[in-house]
Amino acid sequence: MVDARIVDILRRLSLRLEKSGVNWAIAGSLGLAIRGAPVEPHDIDITTNRKGAYEIQRMFLEFVTRGVAFRVGDRIRSHFGALEIDGVKIEIIGDFETKLEDGSWQKPPALASVIEVVQFEGMSIPVLSLEHECDSYTKLGRLERAEQARALLIASRHKDS
């Protein structure tokens, strides 16, 4: 179940973003929860491309707690920033890349190719596909989350047949 405060903020974000032309999607635990995974999200992860990350920051400037900038970690890099609305943290992640075993960086896919639209609380919410989430979580070593995405994927395939 998703906390009512997060649902409210997701509605506010969605209303502004759907009119913006920015290519975006919900990722992470919220993306899994709105599909029925037994997770309780505490934040909102918005994935987009580089241009979209800076545009989202501009659109929500009054809520910025960490300005979008290109950041590199041990296993991931992206144009990353953060907002906070009514006590809920929103992470902005643009052109997310993961480091491969050979040390190279896996380029982000074309975002449109990994987005699905899900109906949730009367909203049409773009989310990352379960295949993409499963793959990303596996590459990051977050195997419990990968398994949750895989279980949802299997359940959705059985439901469709």
**CATH number reported for the structural domain that contains residue 124 in this entry:** 3.30.460.40
| 77 domain residue, yes or no | yes
| 140 domain residue, yes or no | no
pLDDT of residue 143: 67
Which run of H or of E encompasses 18? helix 4-18
Strand 24-27 and strand 43-48: the pairing is antiparallel
| 13 domain residue, yes or no | yes
Instruction: Give the dihedral sign, CA 7/10/15/21.
Output: negative
Contact (CB, 8 A) for 22 and 56: yes
Separation CA 128–CA 132 (nearest Å): 7
Residue 7 has pLDDT above 80, yes or no: yes
- What number is the average pLDDT over the span 107-118? 91
- What number is the average pLDDT over the span 48-67? 97
pLDDT of residue 72: 96
**Cβ-proximal residues to 114 (8 Å cutoff; 6+ apart), any chain:** 25, 128, 129, 131, 132
* Count of domains forming the chain: 1
pLDDT of residue 63: 98
pLDDT of residue 20: 93
| 70 domain residue, yes or no | yes
| 74 domain residue, yes or no | yes
Q: What is the pTM of this model?
A: 0.87
* Total residue length of the chain: 161
Separation CA 92–CA 24 (nearest Å): 10
Residue 105 has pLDDT above 70, yes or no: yes
| 43 domain residue, yes or no | yes
pLDDT of residue 34: 93
Give residue 117's domain range. Answer: 4-129
pLDDT in tens, 59-87: 999 999 999 999 999 989 999 999 999 99
